[in-house]
Amino acid sequence: MSDFFLQIDGKKVAAKPGMTLLEAAQTAGITIPTLCHHEQLEPYGACRICTVELEAQGRTGYVAACTHPAEADQVVRTRSEQLDRIRRVLLEQMLSHAPDSEELLELAGEYGADPGRYEKEASFCILCGLCVRYCAEVKQKHAVGFFDRGAKREINFIPEIAVKECWDCKECFPLCPTSALQAAYVLIESLMAPPQAESCGGCSGHG
């Protein structure tokens, strides 16, 4: 299929069908910040730091560049006062969980984010899901997953799988944008407390 053109930051950019806005921007050398994006993985759209302004069919809105398909005649802006504000707030929210992450602090500098704006609640995890998705999509082991939902959402290794798979792999550690040490800690913690079927009072009480 043939290429088409869209406009990003005032620049005419050629793109191919199937490309996302992020990919189109990257081919033109335009940088859009990302945290949960990884070239080897399916687009996910969770951290929303890549939010851009999109003008299409007479409407202007905000979309995640990493998941939104590029189409002919779109007009995209990757920086604006509003976008900078959105990214600043997102960074401040993530910094409350991972206050020492170098990657986050670097972006905080660029967007004027105050790492102390929201109370620290150091879980060290911004739930970008790179580890979860890498383990599922590339390694196909599913040794790490998301648990619970909403504000209680967290990642954890699944001990039964992790005990067999993780020691020789640990490929997810360096992917972590906040702290590889945290991944190690969560891994070890989950292996320290294997499920004890015998001690489960509820269901095995009669057995």
Partner 1 sequence: MARIKSVADLEKLRTEILARRESERPSITLCSGSACHATGCGPVAAAIEQELKKQGLGDKVDFRRTGCHGFCEQGPIAVIQPEGICYLRVKPEDVPEIVSETIVNGKRVERLLYADPATSEKIAREAEIPFYRHQQRLILGQNREIDPKSLEDYLAVGGFQALSRALFELTPEQVVDEVKRANLRGRGGAGFPTGVKWEFTRRAPGELKYVVVNCDEGDPGAYMDRSLMEGNPYAVIEGLMIGAYAIGASEGYVYVRQEYPLAVSNLEAALAKLEKYGLLGKKILGSGFDFTVRVHRGAGAFICGEETSLIKSLEGLPGEPKPRPPFPAVRGLWNRPTNINNVETWANIPLIINRGAEFFNSIGTEGSKGTKIFSLVGKVNNTGLVEVAMGATLRDIIYKIGGGIPGGKKFKAVQTGGPSGGCIPESLLDTAVDFDELTRAGAMMGSGGMIVMDEDTCLVDLARYFLGFLSDESCGKCTPCREGIRQMLRILTDITRGQGQEDDLERLQELAETTRYASLCALGKTAPNPVLSTLNHFREEYEAHIREKRCPALACRELIAYHIDPEKCRACGACLRQCPAEAIDGGKKRIHVIDQDRCTRCGACLEACPEAFGAVSKLSGQPVPEPLPEEKRCIG
Contact set with partner 1 (CB under 8 A): 43, 45-49, 51, 62, 64, 67-69, 82, 85-86, 89-90, 93-94, 96, 117-119, 126-127, 129, 146, 148-153
- How many helical (H) and strand (E) elements, i.e. helices and strands, does the chain have? 7, 7
Bridge partners of residue 82, in order along the sequence: none
Minimum separation from the CB atom of position 205 to partner 1 (A): 26
If the CB atoms of residues 80 and 204 are measured against partner 1, the closer one turns out to be 80
**Token digits for 26?**
């990257």
If the CB atoms of residues 18 and 207 are measured against partner 1, the closer one turns out to be 18
**Residue 91 is which amino acid?**
L
If the CB atoms of residues 140 and 196 are measured against partner 1, the closer one turns out to be 140
Minimum separation from the CB atom of position 177 to partner 1 (A): 12
For residues 113 and 93, what is the distance between their CA atoms, to the nearest angstrom? 10
Supply φ then ψ for residue 46, to 5 degrees: -95, -40
Place of tokens 């406009």: 7
Other beta carbons within 10 angstroms of residue 75's beta carbon come to: 14
Minimum separation from the CB atom of position 99 to partner 1 (A): 14
If the CB atoms of residues 84 and 163 are measured against partner 1, the closer one turns out to be 84
Minimum separation from the CB atom of position 93 to partner 1 (A): 4
